Amino acid sequence: MKSALPGGVSTGGPDIEVVFNGQTLHAPAGTTVYNLLENNPPSGRLKPLGAVVNGRLRSLDHVLVSDCRVSTVDYGTRDGAGIYRRSATLILCEAVHEIDPAQTPVVGQALAGGYFFSLRRNGNGRVAVGADLVADLRERMNRIVAEDRPVRVRRVAVEEALDYFRSVNAWDKVKLLVTTRRAEVQLGSVGAFRDLVLGPLVRSTRVIHRFDLVPYASGMVLRFPAPDFQMRPMVHNQSKLYNAYREARTWNEEIGVANVGQLNEAVIQGHVSEVIHIAEGFHERKIVAIADEIRQRQPQARLVLVAGPSASGKTTFTKRLGIQLRVLGLRPVALSMDNYYVNRAATPRNSDGTYNFESLEALDLSLFNDQVCRLVDGQEVCTPVYSFSQGVRVENTVPVRLREGEILILEGIHCLNDRLTAGVPRETKYKIYVSALTQLSIDDHSRIFTADVRLMRRIVRDRLYRGYSAAATLRQWPNVRSGEDRNIFPFQEDADVMFNSALVYEPAVLRTYAERFLLEVPIDDPKMSEAYRLLRFLHLLVPLFPEEVPQNSLLREFIGGSAFRY
């Protein structure tokens, strides 16, 4: 039987039915997503960069062999942006290789609207990155884009890939691949440089026509467009965030666990216990240092404010900080911000009509400021009690007073926003930003998204202790991230100190739980593509059982077995 591609092109072969961006089409088995796009372009302003095929992210060259559901993704989506950024990184690697094959870029944190990169020569230490070199690399990248080179992806046996990466001293990839049990992997290139492909790429370099490469501190930042595909002015005031990242990265390198391959090696060879103890010791040392600084600011600092995004471990951090403050003779007094919600009828609403409990206006700011000011002045106040079941304050109140040697601790999403405590003098406040700023990378050119570690923490905690499935957590996550963008991240540089709650070994522990819970997401669930992306990452890790995780670890807040009560 003859079958026809949309547009009247006939080929031999059996038909398959493709639900393509919501439209049912018939095409011969063996057609690609790109073939379908040629005759059925989407109506959106942004060009498709890849496609989700039956819940799995694929490139536009993906071959369709049976009935399937296909939805294209563009730069305005998380999946599409990932394809774009992965491809731009490959172009940067090729540009570095063409200028000096002995050098390789090493990916770092998300910063200034892009990814921070340093340069390393033959695996023997960092290379100075000057403005002239960055300008040369930017020009070379633009040339590669203008030449419209094809992005070649070749499937090879793992043994062939290992031989190649050993020959070019890419030990980050060797250590990653020696623990895989897949028969084949993919290598990608836009020239002489070949890299391990860990996700779909674009079809040709001309697609990557908006980016920038700028000097930053000791390295450079490969900057990407905003979600609307427009370049935004560079944000420069991120010095505290940059320093927190670099501290973690330097420490990871010193203990020899800077990437997933090195972590896998530590687990398999049996010296991960030492890594765990050092990582936990590093946390304790930072908490002690923060407590010491608060003590040194006495008697002025009477109010400690702790804020950070979801699943950062703020609660455990606050409990451990409280212990260290008591060691120094300070007695922490907690004040629950939940009791300062306005009555339900006065709560702001989202555009869809639901209540917006994360809005600052959901709190009675006037009452809160008045009572906090009086507390730090040593006066007694009667704090309200809020009934969540009734959506109103009840008549009961709780008398609170800060006595000599006591210090008030507040934890909440708005704690870094000065509007929350506008009436409190700045010298009275000590602000702490807590977040899991992971600096463990997959390999030299592929980073672990900082938010992914927090997402996996939340998936595990929600499934174990809050009755939410992984699919439910994934559905809620975009709203959580949107709230963080509005209420937390704009104020992070106002903190007196940043505490990085990431633990270098934790992805291996989280795999033990998160993989099981992500496998519960149904194949036809709208969040299957996100679950599949996380599963692909988790499969790179050698699982680590949790028995050696200390009971006071921040990680215990999510996997259970903590010495603290929540």
Which structure tokens are listed for 488?
A: 């937390």
The average pLDDT across 335-356 equals 89
Give me the pLDDT at residue 11, please: 47
| Residue 5 pLDDT exceeds 80 | no
First and final C-alpha spacing in the chain: 66
Tell me the pLDDT band of 515, cut-offs 50, 70 and 90: very high
Tell me the pLDDT band of 1, cut-offs 50, 70 and 90: very low
Tell me the pLDDT band of 10, cut-offs 50, 70 and 90: very low
The average pLDDT across 192-218 equals 96
Examine residue 299 and say whether the peptide bond preceding it is cis (omega within 30 degrees of 0): yes
| Residue 9 pLDDT exceeds 70 | no
Backbone angles phi, psi at 234, to 5 degrees: -75, 135
- Give the chain's mean pLDDT: 93
| Residue 8 pLDDT exceeds 70 | no
Give me the pLDDT at residue 3, please: 42
The average pLDDT across 171-193 equals 96
Neighbours of 508 (CB within 10 A): 25
Task: For 220-274, write each residue's pLDDT tens digit.
Answer: 999 999 999 999 988 777 889 989 988 888 889 888 999 999 999 999 999 999 9
Tell me the pLDDT band of 351, cut-offs 50, 70 and 90: confident
Task: For 408-467, write each residue's pLDDT tens digit.
Answer: 999 989 999 999 999 899 999 999 999 999 989 999 999 999 899 999 999 999 999 999
% of the chain with per-residue pLDDT over 70: 97
Q: How far is CA 286 from CA 329, 431, 434, in A?
A: 18, 15, 12
Task: For 544-563, write each residue's pLDDT tens digit.
Answer: 999 999 999 999 999 999 99
| Residue 124 pLDDT exceeds 90 | no
Alpha helices in 402-493 (DSSP H): 450-465, 470-487
CB 523, CB 500: distance < 8 Å: no
| Residue 302 pLDDT exceeds 50 | yes
CB 416, CB 494: distance < 8 Å: yes
Which structure tokens are listed for 48?
A: 């498709």
Which structure tokens are listed for 535?
A: 């599963």
% of the chain with per-residue pLDDT over 90: 83
The average pLDDT across 362-375 equals 93
Neighbours of 45 (CB within 10 A): 10
Tell me the pLDDT band of 215, cut-offs 50, 70 and 90: very high
Look at 92-96, 127-131, 317-321 and tell me which has the smallest mean pLDDT.
127-131
Neighbours of 117 (CB within 10 A): 27
| Residue 125 pLDDT exceeds 80 | no
Tell me the pLDDT band of 123, cut-offs 50, 70 and 90: low
Strand (E) or helix (H) holding 498: strand 497-500
Give me the pLDDT at residue 13, please: 60
What pTM was estimated for this model as a whole? 0.92
Give me the pLDDT at residue 262, please: 97
The torsion region of residue 273 among left (phi > 0), alpha (psi -120 to 50) and beta comes to: alpha
CA-to-CA distance for 160 and 416, rounded, in angstroms?
52
Residue indicated by tokens 């050098």? 103
| Residue 186 pLDDT exceeds 50 | yes
Residue 238: burial class (beta carbons within 10 Å; 0-12, 13-18, 19+): middle
Tell me the pLDDT band of 7, cut-offs 50, 70 and 90: very low
